[in-house]
Structure 1
């Protein structure tokens, strides 16, 4: 039996944000490999290799923090496919390990907008379609920092805690409409999210306070840089499971993908 025949996502219309790199790219590729129709959104350039290999991939370039950008993107997806079955809120940015006494206003606004406000706007935009269809699945990519105060700076931590709360809220509110909302909580993942840190906001004291906790989860190289053990494909598989029919009674769950870091 082929992998796709038991995947539970074939022919589903899937919106994936942050599809040009990292977890978003791996997730888009996995859904496409499992015969889903993927509407990918990113502020960056099109993932050309993915587009070349899959004619079931549609790319929409947008900065979703701009006014009206979320509604425009979701509307375009619905116009093209006539439905929206899955939303994966994957796009995110890191902070500079800033603490409550060192956070810059613009860093706070940026992290909260991308990591929390945009995902909530996307959920608001897809929910009417999912209610009309009497079904749908939302998967939010949160973080270990969504359930721990010792894994990141204050902006990232607050944004991911907020996303965890929003996930639970949406799950309960719409559980009688056939709509599921779950989240994954990745640990340290080998992506380029570190490049999203605005280094002029880097707080070395904050980093030094949190790094011992991070080090319980990751190793480090000869220069002391953290070396993540979780791959983007590991996270993508967790997302695909939560989006699939195989998890139809899982709703409001937050699944750690961190090789037991969640146990401390």
Structure 2
């Protein structure tokens, strides 16, 4: 425990090991870059064993050699049939039949198409990656968490989860849906010792953030982007006085929600956006 059950007891922190993650297992999707990589690094630093899942290759040079024994990477497509279940099977085969934490980070940006122009391909890919895969990941880990009546799930949403002026209709719908899924899981399994929360990052210095800032996605919907660009200009273009949010800052918020300090926090959507969501 990282707190005292009563305020008048002597607080004696554990010095030998990090109590946050020692002996615990976490799954992180989208672990190869951006927020997913930062979460992986942070959890390993707190002595979690981490099973990282991503559709792209992982650079082991970005993980300390001393942490390699507690990290296993599996390359696969979570949006493919059975992809989520396979990732969980790999985790269990590697670290045993306990899963303490799931962090759903993997995400795909759309091309800013609006409802009158979004293609079937863009819609299907974004919804499959940003909404269906996180829900299927939660479905796959819940039996393990229910068995030990303990677990923490963090879904990485976006400012687009609460605003219609951030992205196209596919990305916006996927992130709004992810918040709904987060709340539903939090309520449904609150009495099983399972917490499910979301973080809503603003403009991030990551692959998706750079795609938004640079307009690099193709085929680009110029008309759709023109409608949201003034909103992005509030944060997506950093200055000396207002730098972009780093993936590690989001990762630290996630680590907080995973730990005992947040043991009564359940079903929230935590903005990490320098007040962007206040607009």
Question: Structure 1 length as normaliser, TM-score?
Answer: 0.92
The aligned residue for residue 80 of structure 1 is 94
Q: Deviations for 1:90-125, whole angstroms, at most 9, x for unmatched residues? A: 000101111111111100100000000000000000
Larger of the two Rg values belongs to structure? 2
Q: Which position in structure 2 is the counterpart of 1:104?
A: 119
- 1:63 matched to which residue of 2? 77
Alignment partner of 1:201: what SS? coil
8 A Cα contact 2:165 2:228, kept in partner? yes
For structure 2, which runs of at least 5 residues remain unmatched after alignment?
1-12
Q: Deviations over 1:65-114 (max 9, x none)?
A: 11112111102212322200000000001011111111111001000000
Are the counterparts in 1 of residues 35 and 251 from structure 2 also a CA contact under 8 Å?
yes
1:1-264 maps to which residues of 2 (within 5 A)?
A: 8-51=20-63, 53=65, 54=67, 55-81=69-95, 82-193=97-208, 194=210, 199-219=217-237, 229-264=244-279
Q: What is the RMSD computed on CA atoms of the aligned residues?
A: 2.1
1:14-41 Cα distance to aligned partner (Å, 9 max, x none): 0000000010001100100111111000
What residue ranges of structure 1 are gaps of 5+ in the alignment? Answer: 222-226
Q: Secondary structure at the match of 2:40?
A: helix
Q: Secondary structure at the match of 1:219?
A: coil
CA distance in 2 between counterparts of 1:4 and 1:155 reads 47
Question: Partner residue of 1:224?
Answer: none
CA contact (8 A) 1:14 1:87 kept: yes
Bigger drift between 243-252 and 6-15 goes to 6-15
Distance of 1:4 and 1:115 partners within structure 2: 39
TM score, norm. by length of structure 2:
0.87
CA distance in 1, matches of 2:199, 2:33: 18
Q: Following the alignment from structure 1 to structure 2, what is the Cα–Cα distance between the partners of residues 259 and 88?
A: 22
Whether contact under 8 Å (2:41, 2:63) holds in the other structure is no
Q: 1:2, CA displacement in angstroms?
A: 8.8
Distance 1:229 1:31 in 2: 23
Worse-matched range after superposition: 50-59 or 248-257: 50-59
